[in-house]
Amino acid sequence: MAPSASSTGAVLLFAIAAVLLLAVRDGHCAQLCMDSTFPRTVNGSLTFCGYNGTACCNSTDDAAVQRQFAAMNISGTPCGELVKSILCARCNPYAGELFTVTTSPRTVPRLCNSTGVASRLSGGKAAAAAVTDYCTTVWDTCKAVRIPGSPFQPPRGGAAAPTLTDVWQSSGDFCTALGGAPGGGGAPCFDGESAAFDASRVAPPASGMCLERLGNGSYLNMAPHPDGSNRVFLNNQAGKVFVATVPAQGSGKPLQVDAAMPFLDITDEVHFDNEFGLLGLAFHPEFAKNGRFFVSYSCDKTQSASCSGRCACNSDVGCDPSKLTADNGAQPCQFQTVIAEYTANASSGSPATATAANPAEVRRIMTMGLPFTTHHGGQILFSKADGYLYLMMGDGGSVGDPWNFAQNKKSLLGKIIRIDVNALPTGNSTAGWGNYGIPKDNPFSTDSKFAPEVFALGFKNPWRCSFDSGKPSDLYCADVGQSSYEEVDLVIKGGNYGWRVLEGTTAYLPLASPGGNTSAADIDAIPPVMGYAHSAVNNNVGSASITGGYVYRSGTDPCLAGRYLYADLYAQSAWAGLESPPGSGAYDVTPLPFACSGRSPIPCDAAAARSTLPSLGYIFSFGEDNAGDVYLLTSKGVYRVVDPAECGYACPIKSSAPGTSPPPGSSPSGGAAAAVVPAAAATMAALLLMGALLAL
């Protein structure tokens, strides 16, 4: 017998509630907007609400919230600041759960109303922090304030500008209606700045990484264009930088790059061989206005007159260059690391439109002679959090860092270096390697025992570091091991990461020590947060070398969201690490299988014995574009992470990639401008979430 319409509806509503409650109980709190779509990437930040990275608002929504707040006429008051934050919570990446508890719509987010420990997920370093009684703070601050168009529940009697006391008798009544403990019942709550969660919440599982091949070229670096567009810069190891246009997800188009028209060609200056070449590329945060960008490369002083700088083995660090053993026939400091500044050519006057750069160097930032022919690091990055330039420098080479450069406080080798390229040295500046300033808050800027450029120390060969675009102060660095362990470090200011005292967490016994030793008791070594033993990888070269990646922040694969992705150069292996619980400093790491999408614009090469899997060749680097999508830069080409469904990988949250079919009734703009979530919209959101979860 066919069920009646009423019984079908009842069953459906029961299923909706059951699935939603299951999702909450099982901790599937995920980034979702009020229309059940995934948050969008914000280029820059929202002018009024200030969200950046990912958000459930675009600029139109942001302007609508600003107009709504202006009409309340409470700007500049303590209550006004709280109400602004509450209105802007619609832009929060977790707005779908903050504003909808099971199937009940809300006009304000669920307000945190009990003291507990939760993880703050907005900018800055994730750390356990006490959640204040935010709901009571709102009550105490706003209870006597008349708010035209109040976002809180309408008052008894329908006053035009109600106060909270027109509706509720006490803070207890108010917070019972609108509040919730952090993670209460599994649901997040709003603490005025971020979404706060129960530390036990569980992220949806990542069953695999689906890739598409966009290009055949081999590159070492990808930098998103600072203008926020779908363009990126790519550089090869030989010394050429290219501008490329990234096709939309799902378009079926390849990467558009003109190999015959490089943006910059400095191959005449670059020494290209094995661990030498154009190793770093970084664009000034104000590039769209000033056209400044920077490269890090290797040069040979026997071939280039401009390749001339101090040797990293010198009297300052207790090292005598004449005592260095020749490495592969090279003489000490024959090869040097250079950071140089260039500028874009822009006939229109706007560097953002430039298709080529002036090949004449503007300024030599740094030149440093290298003691050996390996372990040069060389990556450069600008931090969005502080605007300074970071240089990732290896220990300079030879097996086991015999001169102990990584622990030598005066040496720049084996360090993360932070400098100010906006401040030229003046007078008796302590910047001893070139033209730059020392940030005043560098951890050792006033310590005469240290080189003032040092931000962190104890690295062997940091090969690919990245700032988390969702938490811009978090710097992850993959550090290549010597013979047993590859590691990922979460780098903090002044931190010592152990090499060569330790390899991973195991004591390292150097083969030679002309530069002396450092005792484990003399350092407070910070252990890696992720990594793998050489015995855990299986490859044909019998070796391992880590390649660092990114914390995944795109909506293309929601099940990778918040996970740090990294791989091995040789092993065709990748891993995903997730801090669990958030703020704990502990990471759950799982192997990440990968496959090639059947819709790949360029067919993926098949691995010899595993025809269903792509052969990536050597995995040199990862990249990230302005949309937050992640790329693998390999010897076989450029690969992009796509919707997991294209490879048959299951994810309970629907991809927000443009090439996927949007949920019926969804709003491309985020739908965050409305003051009230209609019951119909909440029901639709419930249906959409149920469909996504049942798609497993």
Q: What is the pLDDT of residue 541?
A: 66
How far is Cα 222 from Cα 281, in angstroms, rounded to an integer? 8
Looking at the chain, the whole-number percentage of residues with pLDDT higher than 90 is: 58
- As a whole number of angstroms, the longest Cα–Cα distance in the chain is 94
* Bridge-based pairing state of the strands 462-468 and 454-457: unpaired
237 exposure class (CB count in 10 Å sphere: 0-12, 13-18, 19+): buried
What are 514-560's pLDDT values in tens digits?
Answer: 999 999 999 999 999 999 999 888 776 668 999 999 999 999 999 99
Closest C-alpha to 432, from 366, 334, 363: 366
Phi-psi category of 94—alpha, beta or left, where left has phi over 0 and alpha has psi -120 to 50?
A: alpha
Local structure of residue 209 (DSSP, 8 states): E
Q: What is the pLDDT of residue 3?
A: 42
The hierarchical CATH code for the domain 209-647 is 2.120.10.30
Closest C-alpha to 586, from 504, 528, 533: 528
Cis bond upstream, residue 363 (ω within 30): no
Say if residue 375's pLDDT is above 90: yes
Looking at the chain, the whole-number percentage of residues with pLDDT higher than 70 is: 80
Q: What is the pLDDT of residue 323?
A: 85
| 201 and 186 Cβ atoms separated by less than 8 Å | yes
Mean pLDDT of 326-330: 66
In the chain, where the domains are located:
18-204+653-694, 209-647
Say if residue 231's pLDDT is above 50: yes
Q: What is the pTM assigned to this prediction?
A: 0.72
Q: What is the pLDDT of residue 678?
A: 31
Q: What is the pLDDT of residue 317?
A: 95
Within 8 A by CB and 6+ apart from 100, the residues are: 34, 106, 677, 682, 685, 686
How confident is residue 280, by pLDDT bands cut at 50, 70 and 90? very high
Say if residue 185's pLDDT is above 80: no
What are 10-26's pLDDT values in tens digits?
Answer: 443 333 333 333 333 33
Closest C-alpha to 209, from 582, 490, 561: 561
DSSP assignment of 412-430: -TTEEEEEBTTS---SS-S
81 exposure class (CB count in 10 Å sphere: 0-12, 13-18, 19+): middle
Local structure of residue 132 (DSSP, 8 states): P
Within 8 A by CB and 6+ apart from 103, the residues are: 13, 16, 17, 20, 682, 683, 686
